[in-house]
A = this chain, B = another copy of it.
Amino acid sequence: MTVSKAVEKSGEATRSRKDAGDSPAEALHLGELSEQLGYVLKRAQLKVFENFLRCVASLQLTPAQFSVLLLVEQNPGRNQTEIASTLGILRPNFVAMLDNLESRDLCARIRSTNDRRSHILVLTDKGKAVLTRAKKLVATKHEARLNELLGAANRDALIAMLSKIANEF
């Protein structure tokens, strides 16, 4: 079948031109797309990041920055390579990120005395304070919204399944 014939078979001629009778321009059918894991996953991720940004807007933290602060707090004495790699961030790209956090006095690089190539990462006092406030905001606004939407049990099941996918897919 040619393209020109295909267009005749489509419902185009009857609907376009701003819907002659002012009918409400019906929404498109997602079809199999709404069952595609990747599609639904991506859209959910965008919404969650968007919501996260709003919830911690007062602290000016992105999800990635939040994850760095959390990981540095949880793992004192680690260097840039270690922190970056466990977050899936490539070392070159981690440099600008740290420059940012350091310029805002949220964390600091400290030359290691054992291996003078590496920089040990530490949270500053301000960084600890900001992280504490961020955790609170995330818990009371962000995660609370999720529980409200799914219920605690479903939330746990969701996280478990996503972790499984992230680790074993």
Residues of A within 8 A of B (CB): 1, 3-4, 6-7, 9-13, 15-18, 27-49, 51-52, 63, 66-67, 70-71, 73-79, 82-83, 86, 88, 108, 110, 112-115, 118, 120, 122-125, 135, 138, 142-143, 145-146, 149-150, 154-155, 157-159, 161-166, 168-169
Residues of B within 8 A of A49 (CB): 38, 42
Report yes or no: B143 in contact with A150, Cβ–Cβ below 8 A. no
* Given A33-B67, A114-B12, A158-B161, A28 contacting B120 (CB threshold 8 A): no
How many copies the complex holds: the figure is 2
Residues of B within 8 A of A154 (CB): 157, 161
| Interchain nearest-CB distance for A145 vs B (Å) | 7
**Complex Cα–Cα for A6 and B124 (A):** 8
Report yes or no: B118 in contact with A71, Cβ–Cβ below 8 A. no
* Dominant secondary structure at the A interface: helix
A76 nearest CB neighbor, chain B only: B10
A4 nearest CB neighbor, chain B only: B110
**Complex Cα–Cα for A165 and B163 (A):** 17
**Complex Cα–Cα for A4 and B142 (A):** 34
* Given A45-B41, A165-B48, A76 contacting B11 (CB threshold 8 A): yes
